[in-house]
Amino acid sequence: MSAEAPATVELSDAAMSRIKQMLDGSIATVIAAFETKFNSMQQRIDVLEGEVMDRDVEIRSLHEQLVRQGKALEEQQERTEGIDLNRRLSTLILTCDDFISKTTDEDVEQKISQVLNQRFPWLNMTPKDIQSAHRLQANNKVIVRFVKRRMRDAVYEGRFELVNRTARDARRLSPLYITESLTPKNREVYSYLLEARKPVNGSKITSVFSRRGLVFCRVERGGPNISVPDLQRAQRIPERSLDLQREPWWELTSDRYRSHGYSQ
């Protein structure tokens, strides 16, 4: 028995036209919905891009403002450092056991004059040569501001005489140590170099000293004086001591130091 062929349904032209209209309408609805969503998303993207551009402009403006403020702050710090450095040029710090004993009505200026005249008879100092003086936290330290820079320089240069004289007169005179009053910035540099000079740290620096408030060091005995204006350079000296002679920027070239009339 043969299988019967399935029955076929023929749609009229009107029905086919109706179905086509329904499909076209559905497709058009879907496309319109996508277009609406896309346009909405595009508008949002345009807004976000505009906001990003505005934010970029704002960030650039803030960055430029920070750079300007940073430069202004650095210049102000340099000016303040220069003022502080100049203010200290007439000042020395004296360390000696002769200053330990004190009385309630002591004359510090007179005591300082006696200590210095004992070690430098040619100095002929009087209390009138001292503008001001007071004790520091340590009992054996005093800070002295001289009336005349010439007197201050004579005392500071005279410290080299104390090396032999103090040894020869050890029974009569207590050792006297004379140092400059450094700004906090230069004092930090000086302390760092002193630590680097210790044998435990390799002794890559042979000497550390200050001159007119600026810090210098040497990496070999009898070698050139190397100006160290900041801690960053101080930290690089022990690491590159063998290359210093080929590094001209280690020399004192900063305009802000030259403007104060200092030279090596």
How do residues 174-207 score in pLDDT, each as one tens digit? 889 999 999 999 999 999 999 888 887 777 788 8
Q: Which domain holds residue 48?
A: 33-88
Residue 11's pLDDT is: 66
**HSE-up of 179 (CA within 13 Å, CB side)?**
16
- Tally of domains in the chain: 3
More confident residue, 254 or 124: 124
Residue 254's pLDDT is: 40
Question: Which of 88, 107, 129 is the last residue before a domain boundary?
Answer: 88
Chain-wide mean pLDDT for the chain?
A: 81
Phi and psi at residue 226, to the nearest 5°: -110, 120
Query: Is the residue at 197 inside a domain?
Result: yes
Whether residue 129 is predicted with pLDDT greater than 50 in this model: the reply is yes
More confident residue, 82 or 252: 82
What is the spatial distance between Cα 202 and Cα 211, in angstroms, rounded to a whole number?
25
Domain shared by 67 and 103, yes or no: no
Query: Is the residue at 250 inside a domain?
Result: yes
Where do we find the tokens 């103090």?
166
Domain shared by 211 and 170, yes or no: no
Domain shared by 110 and 79, yes or no: no
Query: Is the residue at 6 inside a domain?
Result: no
Query: Is the residue at 168 inside a domain?
Result: yes
Whether residue 68 is predicted with pLDDT greater than 70 in this model: the reply is yes
CATH of the domain at 98: 3.30.70
145-182 residues labelled b (16+ CB within 10 A) or e (exposed): bbeeeebbebbbebeeebeeebeeeeeebbebebebbb
Domain shared by 146 and 211, yes or no: no
Q: Is 12 helix (H, G, I), strand (E, B) or coil?
A: coil
Query: Is the residue at 124 inside a domain?
Result: yes
pTM of the model: 0.64
Domain shared by 126 and 203, yes or no: no
Domain shared by 165 and 100, yes or no: yes
More confident residue, 170 or 138: 138
